[in-house]
Amino acid sequence: MIMLKYLILAMLLFTLNAHALELSEKDLAGKWLIVKIGDLDTRADNDIWQFKNGKWTAISGGRALQPDSYKIVGDIIDLGYSKIKVLEFSKSVMKTKQMGFEYTLEKQ
């Protein structure tokens, strides 16, 4: 009986996590501060990913790089030349993986 409860709980958590991965342009839009890369706290760097009008812009050291078009495909932000896998998503926190690095971002 206890195993059945754990199985049901695990299924529920999986379902909730899968639901949390649903991205929308509306919820993604705005500026996201990179607060961690792996275990390294990067808040002081003030690096930002901005999503606006179908464009993704990386802002580093106060300088914006050339914006790139993107599209959302399931839990992937597809830049064409690179893909950002979204591991967790809410309206205020996003965890991603890109080119082998895990990023934690907070909506600004």
The boundaries of the domain holding residue 93 are 23-107
Low-confidence winner among 3-7, 42-46, 52-56, 61-65 (lowest mean pLDDT): 3-7
Q: What percent of the chain has pLDDT over 90?
A: 77
The CATH number that applies at residue 45 is 2.40.128.280
Contacts of 16 (CB under 8 A, 6+ apart): none
Q: Is the pLDDT of residue 89 over 90?
A: yes
Q: What span, in angstroms and rounded, lies between the C-alpha atoms of 53 and 43?
A: 25
Mean pLDDT to the nearest integer, 50-56: 96
DSSP for 46-73?
A: T-EEEEETTEEEEEETTEEPPPEE-EEE
User: Two tokens at 103?
Assistant: 């990023």
The structural domain count of the chain equals 1
Amino acid at 84: I
**pLDDT tens across 21-40, in order?**
578 899 999 999 999 999 99
Q: Could you count the other beta carbons within 10 Å of the beta carbon of residue 69?
A: 11
In a domain, 8, yes or no: no
In a domain, 42, yes or no: yes
In a domain, 100, yes or no: yes
Q: Is the pLDDT of residue 11 over 60?
A: no
In a domain, 98, yes or no: yes
pTM of the shown model: 0.78
Q: End-to-end CA distance of the chain: give it in Å, rounded.
A: 45
DSSP state of 52: E
